[in-house]
Amino acid sequence: MIMYKIVLLRHGESSWNKLNRFTGWHDVELTENGKKEAQYAAEILKKEKFFFNEAHTSVLKRAINTLWNVMCNLNQTWLPVKKTWRLNERHYGALEGLNKDETMLKYGEKKVIAWRRSFYAIPPKIQKTDIRFPGYDIRYSHLDVKNIPVGESLELTVKRVIPYWKKIILPQLKKNKKILIVAHGNSLRALIQYLKKIDSNNIEKLNIPTAIPIILEFNKELIAQKYYFLT
């Protein structure tokens, strides 16, 4: 018996999605199409009469602005919003900013697909002296430098996402709060992988499209039963 639901949403198309670049923690804007995608997601949720008590997002503006567009179009801008680095996209290390097709030509298709899709593969790491290292960004100044990633697998992404789920989101779900999570392809894959206990091979097949709402259903024991896309 389904008792609880949460809504997951990947951000709308970003400027680097459009340019086919590895984005990771780099902070890029939504495209005009990305804003329209967010508005369309809101229309779907409105049609299904979704009403929320709170929202969670990353500290990256493509997710924050997607959430804002959704809340505006749902007329729920008053919602309390929690932002956390733990919902950021996985960090793509030295690949960040590189074109994906050009990276395949350099490293080979098999290796790049593993970096993008597999559970364990870690992309080439950046040095902490690299200007792209998040430790130089004021929004991460409260973190121990040892906890700031220089390149992550999906497995490592799971390890930072799930503590936030357990400590912050799950207690609210237990109170039957209606929750919206707007994040990124891999942070959402990490959450679904953990909750649905998807093995390391099958998780490679899970793709999260931009701005298509995902409904995740739980039974009364708060065990995830199924998830599906709203279109």
Active site residues: 11, 89
Helix (H, G, I), strand (E, B) or coil at 5: strand
CA–CA separation, 184 and 208 (whole Å): 8
> Measured in whole angstroms, how far is the alpha carbon of residue 157 from the centre of its chain?
10
Q: Are 220 and 3 in contact (CB under 8 A)?
A: yes
CA–CA separation, 178 and 114 (whole Å): 35
Residues 6 or more apart whose CB falls under 8 angstroms from that of 223 comprise none
In the structure encoding, which two tokens stand for residue 115, read together?
């970096």
Give the bridge partners for 214, in sequence order. 8, 229
